[in-house]
Structure 1
Amino acid sequence: MRPALTTLAAALGAAGALAQTAPDAAGTAPAAAAPGLAASGPAAAASAASAPAVAASGIELRTAPSLQAPPRGAAGRQLPIIVRARELSGRPDIDAVAEGDVEFRRGTTVIHADRLTYDRKDDLARATGNVRISQDGNLFQGPELQLHVERFEGFFQSPTYRFGATGAGGTAGRIDFLEQTRAVATDATYTSCPADGSGDPPWLLSAERIAIDTDKNEGVARNAVLRFYGVPILGAPVLSFPLNDERKSGWLPPNLGIDSRSGVQASIPYYWNIAPNRDATFTPSLSSKRGFGLDTEFRYLEPSHAGETALKLMPYDRLTGDSRYALRTRHESLFAGDTLLQLRVRRVSDDDYWKDFPDEIDSLTRRLLGSSLSLSKPFGDWSTYARVQRWQVLQTEDPTTRIESPYERRPQIGARYQHNWNGGFDVSFETEYNRFANPDDRYLVNRHTGERVHALGSIARPFGSQGWVVTPKLSFNAASYSLDSTPTGGRRSASRFIPTLSVDSSWTLEREATLFGRTLTQTLEPRLLYVNTPYRRQDDLPNFDAYPKDFNVESIFTENVFSGVDRVSDEHQLTAGVTSRFLDPATGAETLRVGIAQRYLFRDQRITPDGEPLTRRFSNLLLFGSGAITSRWNVDALVTYDPENGRIERSVAGVRYSPGPYRTIGATYRLTRGLLEQVELGWQWPVYGADRRQPNGTLAGAAGSCQGALYSVGRVNYSTRDSRIIDSLVGLEYDAGCWIGRVVAERRSTGRSEANTRLMMQLELVGLSRIGSNPLGTLKDNIPGYRMLRDEKRTPSPFTPYD
């Protein structure tokens, strides 16, 4: 998995305090310690108990509020050596001998052994018998250790080892410590699994030599073989792996997938950690049906600019006979103090790219790819901006599946003003120049192009106090047009000015209430919005950017049923609604929200989204609700009810049941009368074995006993109107404790009679890497409430239980 790009910050901490130890049961007193060593034992504890609170130097010792990590590097080497043992003897300035439950400590290095000798001249510690050495959360154990403490140079005979960051380790014939951050293990193994009944762990990496470099966050294995349940699945003369979740250069695990359009696909990424704030990834790939491809990505993060560029290139597609590509660029620069430059580019080679490579277009609108260059700068209460925007529209030969192309802006230049004047007046103003052009779309005919200058302004004065507010507002929308041609006749230039008067009022009432056995605070929040906009003829004016707003909780309390500038609905209406919320009185968290809203027209509305006058006095009734009914049940619903016809016109209703971690199931029903009716089901649910999962997320004993936990995951979207499955995602995840297997099949519609199907398989070796195609992003994006079986990151502790 490619790591995230972040800036790095270094901090230096100070040393902590020395803990006291109680006398042991035997009451054995230690002998004199060598100079430079701080002895700890019965005698040391006894003398410390009678020591004054203030030392002779006048320095007072105080307890620290929290345990601080010991300093590292040169600062750590200046710390004193602390030895604790049942028996301690030695010669001043020469050596020391410790026997019986020995603990030898300097900074983050702690050695436990049955017997330890220390030569002061050579700074050499020799430990024998049940030797354990821990450093920065990493643990080594074995029968014999020799170590030059300050340089951290020496060797460990026949040790076992484990890294705290990954929870993985292994055995070795010998480990040579080259310095504090580098070591070499000979005849070594590496795994995060305990041994099974046969004595071998489920997965095991064995190598003649493993070089460990914690500064580079890298382990390099020579002549390495990776076995899974005894079967070799990967072998390489050189194989590198990370020691924690930090970034490192090297080859990443291969990806393997099956796609109905491209066949078997294999790729192997190479990650280049150029600098702490720059990296690149190169991914050669091979498709059984299409041929060779290369994906590249470069990312950078500087103090004044940041961005990324990705190019996916297939020089020759054997299915189409053409070169295929996808380009994505994002860049932001901040200069001259507060001037912001932004660049966005999205382009693909052809109209069918979104069908053939659905996951390689990182966009919510996969058939509408936008590119833009913008510049913005604030001046006090003013903000100015300029932008050029272009679109690539991916059309189809089927007329029923074509999409409408938006206009391009070449350019867009504007300024906005926002200020609260004396007397409590909220004033806003916007003016903008646009030149609208058609994108390169062969299906566009007879559509206006030209220029528009518009101005939007408003002045409002809120009145109120605690619990209520009334806000009258006067606003206007003015625009002037100059067209390049008149495809349907009419004028080439026109202008209009449309004022609007509105009064918005809301109240908040509270009381104590009981819901599902809980005492909560219930609010009652009525709201009234009066709007009066006169009629101005607009059917002879172009429509560059106005679209009907969706009828929902937010849009019903707005002054215009259109977004954009070119259309302003004539309205003389009153919108009334009421919302009730249930809040936790201790935290203020919202438990449940329900509401209802409706519009009343005082006169017919002539400017409407469908072009037909609206003569009905009452609009559709909007009912909504969302929240957690209990700690396990969540609901979310929006219903549009037509009182005249006595039926539901639109509805989106969902319910989700989540009784615990890795257990969630949800259903959603969508209805738009005459257009669609769909039922969606999504879930993550254990099939068996999940009761062995511990509170920290790990699966106790699973790896050794081969009794893991099996989970089913999926999402199915079914159209009852068309009697077919639109999209589906079904898979299984098996967590064996130290490895996780995933198999996920996805089917995605690309047209009324077309679909793309792919199979994703992944083996995650916990503490090493993931092999295969990664379905995690797809699972998180498609299954509400989905939770990964393993956290992405683990932070080791530099402390031992002694601390």
Structure 2
Amino acid sequence: MRLSLRLLPLTLAIWTALPAYAEDKIPINWKRCPIEDAVPVFKDPQPTGDDTKVKRNTLPTTLEGDEQFGTIDIPIFSGEVNLNRGNQFLGTDKLTFNKNDNTYVAEGHVRYQDANLRVVAERAHGNQDTDEHTIEDMRYQLVSRRGNGIADKIDIKGDLGEMHGATYSTCPPDARHWQLEAREIDINNEEGMGVARGAKLRIGRVPVLYLPFFAFPVDGRRRTGLLYPSISTTGRNGLDYKQPIYLNLAPNYDLTLYPRIMSKRGGALGAEFRYLNAAGEGTIAGNYMPDDKLRNRSRGSFVFNGYQNLSQHWQARAGLVWLSDPRYLEDFNNSSAGIANYNVLSSVGVYGNGRFWNAGIMADRYQLADYTLTNASLPYDRMPRLYFNWDQPLGSLFRVGIDAEAVRFSHQSYRPLLAGGALGATTDIPGGSRLDLKPFISMEVERDAWYVRPTVAWRHTSYQLDSKLADQMALGNATRYAAETGTAVTPALVARYRAANPTRNLPILSLDTGLYFDRAFKFRDTAYTQTLEPRLFYLHVPYENQDALPIFDTNALSFSWGQLFRDNRYSSADRQADANQITAAISSRVLRQNDGHEVLNVSFGQIHYLSDARVRLPWENTIEKGASAYVADANWSPNDRWQFGASMQWNPKIKRRDLASARGRYLFGDGGIVNLAYRYRRDLLEQADFSFVYPISNAWSIVGRHYYSLKDNKAIETLGGFQYDSCCIAIRVVGRRYIATREGDLKNGIMLEFELKGLGSAGQDTKRTLRRAILGYHRDDLYLIPPETATGQTVSDPDPTTLP
């Protein structure tokens, strides 16, 4: 008499298979639903047997009640009657059992429950031998997930079931915002499939959809079928309709097709194939448009992301991206992220990791994603790159290790842009190879209140340059020397600067030391601990002229708090900064003693150059001397709702700020938040960012963002809308105006999403847009640290239906 999962299909109705894309989805918010179930938990003792691996009708049946009368062959039980078999329970006020044919009739306050379903009904009867049962006039509650409803009756025979006059909703019975009704539902529990006839979807009391026939899954197994479509309209694409089709190919791989029609562009077909095995997983996604009416050409993209564990310590990983043309991101991305990246990066490699080491061999390649540039602007490809890092304690005082890297740099050819937009002849950019070795030994002396960490390292860097690159560098250095000295550029001067295999060997000495003080105090009857942490960092690297070394992948790092304590102000091995400098810094923190909450932290520091720092990149105009900018940072969080922060870099040489930022956040209610931020970097940007979610009632809230460039006197993104989020239904309407082209053109768009919780949603994914625009829209995002991206050149929108 097992009814497990008999009513589950209704949670997945209207043709849907609903495969999960968990990487970017926000869990359904059930906070506004009442705790009480439509069918309360029974007080009767429940059986704990397991009948999942055996036939139900082979298990013994136990029957008991307060009173027994009738005959020996047909006993009648009354009072608190319990009938148990396996993990099933049936309770009733009166039960008549016929031992001759193992049939029963239950009457009055019938209660049924198994691992998935809880039912109350007026009457039930069945046959234990044939496993046939009928429950009449019933109310049900799904146990393992949201969902409840009523049915006139359900007829069950083994793994087959037929429900009549059934309803389903995730709303509570007294607030039916939506409800699915069906005249008849046939269920095959063994196959995991069901068929509904005469189905009707109501919003409130209004019927909005009628389906005479549809098939659907009845359990958690994935099924082939249609997913909810997406319909939108934009000035760029016109009416945009996308209908996902899910194909469940095997338990460990599936395929989703995304046929799409855009009235202004034409038709396109996207696809996403996912696979999973015991040692890895991956996703292959692509999109193809045979004829883009606006560009008069075919368009497409391809993406692969995956990994495969090779052993306990080694893993293969790949992230591959291909775009049909440099305008693809701008044309098909649905946000300003489409113009944020000028290239995309593909990478494949094998990576290892152990207790004291990590290593890898990899290759990466860039592709242009900005039609206003040529391939000349792309970084060098690394084909391949090998690295090995080792760092291990040696005794109780020392650490030894090495950072090693070998890279072959190559560059794609390009055609320069000529006057009038024409393309010139193909030009090759030469490359070369680089070996970089940095062994080190460090002594670590630490006590409760102080530490001293001297470190000695040696950096060896050598190159093998293509002949053409060596010639270009020799000519450039000779020309620079001639300009500085007022002499002529001669073949002998060029030959003096030519070095096909330049090398560099430099010692690096550093001493990091600090103190730690703390004190306890009380403020307004709350106990706190305050720390005071002064720190000195000395760095010495002798000067060596490095003009003969190429620039493959090296840039000056942005000056920051962390830069005060690095041994190189450049990002890679092509330049090792000379240094004779000392950093003086101090930090202080205030911690709440009862829970460790950091109420306040303040940091202040500066580099003092004991000798001028002379190494620089060719495009750098300044020499570091005297002292660096002051770096100050502060964060104040008086309680769990308020948080403020500020950062400042003040340059004493020009008596101006190099960088400034301020930020504030306030949380209120269950989901309200206000963010305000200001960002400034000298000569580059000055921006203000205001965003909020403001609840105006328990269900209604207003959302908005205004992201503005003060330097350009222009809005970057403006967003506003409202959302209704009740127990079981949500509606979100959002209007957007954002920069959508590299020329700075602003585009308008309206996004609408209608969600029936537990059933699905229709329209655009507004939650994802709001999550990215408003920090804290999904509260869990406030406590996540986003991964650092070294290049920043990955495709920003992971939706395979829109972009790779």
Deviation at 1:456, TM superposition (A): 1.8
1:555 aligns with 2:530: no
Q: Deviations over 1:522-548 (max 9, x none)?
A: 222221110011111123321111111
For residue 504 of structure 1, the aligned residue among 499, 502, 512 is 512
Q: Contact 1:583 / 1:592 at 8 angstroms: preserved in 2?
A: yes
**How many residue pairs get matched?**
705
**Mapping of 1:177-576 within 5 angstroms?**
177-179=156-158, 183-193=161-171, 201-212=176-187, 220-239=195-214, 247-335=222-310, 338-359=313-334, 366-377=341-352, 383-397=358-372, 404-422=377-395, 424-439=397-412, 441-442=414-415, 448-484=430-466, 485=468, 486-488=471-473, 489=475, 490-491=497-498, 492-514=500-522, 518-576=526-584
Distance in 2 (CA, whole Å) between partners of 1:364 and 1:473 is 44
**Mapping of 1:584-623 within 5 angstroms?**
584-608=592-616, 611-614=620-623, 616-623=625-632
Deviation at 1:597, TM superposition (A): 1.2
Q: Contact 1:462 / 1:469 at 8 angstroms: preserved in 2?
A: yes
Matched residue, 1:15? none
- CA spacing shift, 1:169–1:571, aligned 2, 3 Å: same
Q: Contact 2:412 / 2:428 at 8 angstroms: preserved in 1?
A: no
Matched residue, 1:696? none
Distance in 2 (CA, whole Å) between partners of 1:669 and 1:244 is 50
Distance in 1 (CA, whole Å) between partners of 2:94 and 2:759 is 35
- CA spacing shift, 1:653–1:752, aligned 2, 3 Å: farther
Matched residue, 2:9? none
Matched residue, 1:580? 588
1:643 aligns with 2:652: yes
Distance in 2 (CA, whole Å) between partners of 1:763 and 1:579 is 50
Distance in 2 (CA, whole Å) between partners of 1:470 and 1:786 is 44
Deviation at 1:662, TM superposition (A): 0.8
| Matching residue's letter, 2:305 | R
Q: Contact 2:329 / 2:338 at 8 angstroms: preserved in 1?
A: no
Q: Contact 1:597 / 1:621 at 8 angstroms: preserved in 2?
A: yes
Matched residue, 1:21? none
Q: Contact 2:561 / 2:631 at 8 angstroms: preserved in 1?
A: yes
Q: Contact 2:444 / 2:451 at 8 angstroms: preserved in 1?
A: yes
Q: Contact 2:398 / 2:441 at 8 angstroms: preserved in 1?
A: yes
Distance in 2 (CA, whole Å) between partners of 1:779 and 1:150 is 56
Q: Contact 2:132 / 2:157 at 8 angstroms: preserved in 1?
A: yes
Deviation at 1:428, TM superposition (A): 1.7
- CA spacing shift, 1:771–1:75, aligned 2, 3 Å: same
Matched residue, 2:792? none
Q: Deviations over 1:483-538 (max 9, x none)?
A: 22133524233111122110011222221134575312222222111001111112
Deviation at 1:240, TM superposition (A): 5.2
Distance in 1 (CA, whole Å) between partners of 2:219 and 2:772 is 26
- CA spacing shift, 1:615–1:298, aligned 2, 3 Å: closer
1:721 aligns with 2:711: yes
| Matching residue's letter, 1:187 | G
Residue segments in structure 1 that go unaligned for 5+ positions in a row: 7-39, 42-66, 691-708, 790-803
- CA spacing shift, 1:398–1:497, aligned 2, 3 Å: closer
Distance in 2 (CA, whole Å) between partners of 1:435 and 1:738 is 57
Residue segments in structure 2 that go unaligned for 5+ positions in a row: 1-17, 24-43, 418-426, 476-496, 781-804
**Mapping of 1:32-181 within 5 angstroms?**
70-74=49-53, 81=61, 85-89=65-69, 91=71, 94-149=73-128, 153-179=132-158
Q: Contact 1:531 / 1:571 at 8 angstroms: preserved in 2?
A: yes
- CA spacing shift, 1:110–1:495, aligned 2, 3 Å: same
Task: For residue 378 of structure 2, give the secondary structure of its aligned residue in structure 1.
Answer: coil
The percent of aligned pairs where both chains have the same amino acid is: 29
| Matching residue's letter, 2:401 | S
Deviation at 1:617, TM superposition (A): 1.5
- CA spacing shift, 1:514–1:727, aligned 2, 3 Å: farther
Task: For residue 435 of structure 1, give the secondary structure of its aligned residue in structure 2.
Answer: strand
Task: For residue 562 of structure 1, give the secondary structure of its aligned residue in structure 2.
Answer: coil
Distance in 2 (CA, whole Å) between partners of 1:334 and 1:341 is 6
- CA spacing shift, 1:625–1:328, aligned 2, 3 Å: same
Distance in 2 (CA, whole Å) between partners of 1:315 and 1:342 is 31
Distance in 1 (CA, whole Å) between partners of 2:753 and 2:244 is 15
Distance in 2 (CA, whole Å) between partners of 1:341 and 1:227 is 50
Segment drifting more, 743-752 vs 724-733: 743-752
Matched residue, 2:19? 2
- CA spacing shift, 1:434–1:746, aligned 2, 3 Å: same
Distance in 2 (CA, whole Å) between partners of 1:506 and 1:241 is 66
Q: Contact 1:480 / 1:493 at 8 angstroms: preserved in 2?
A: yes
Task: For residue 779 of structure 1, give the secondary structure of its aligned residue in structure 2.
Answer: helix
Distance in 2 (CA, whole Å) between partners of 1:461 and 1:141 is 73
1:710 aligns with 2:690: no
Distance in 2 (CA, whole Å) between partners of 1:553 and 1:152 is 72
Deviation at 1:215, TM superposition (A): 7.1
Q: Contact 2:414 / 2:428 at 8 angstroms: preserved in 1?
A: no
TM-score under structure 1 length normalisation: 0.80
Distance in 2 (CA, whole Å) between partners of 1:185 and 1:558 is 70
Distance in 2 (CA, whole Å) between partners of 1:242 and 1:715 is 41
Matched residue, 1:733? 723
1:786 aligns with 2:777: yes
- CA spacing shift, 1:324–1:508, aligned 2, 3 Å: same
Distance in 1 (CA, whole Å) between partners of 2:396 and 2:344 is 46
1:625 aligns with 2:634: yes
Task: For residue 640 of structure 2, give the secondary structure of its aligned residue in structure 1.
Answer: coil
Distance in 2 (CA, whole Å) between partners of 1:775 and 1:673 is 35
Deviation at 1:350, TM superposition (A): 1.0
Task: For residue 330 of structure 2, give the secondary structure of its aligned residue in structure 1.
Answer: helix
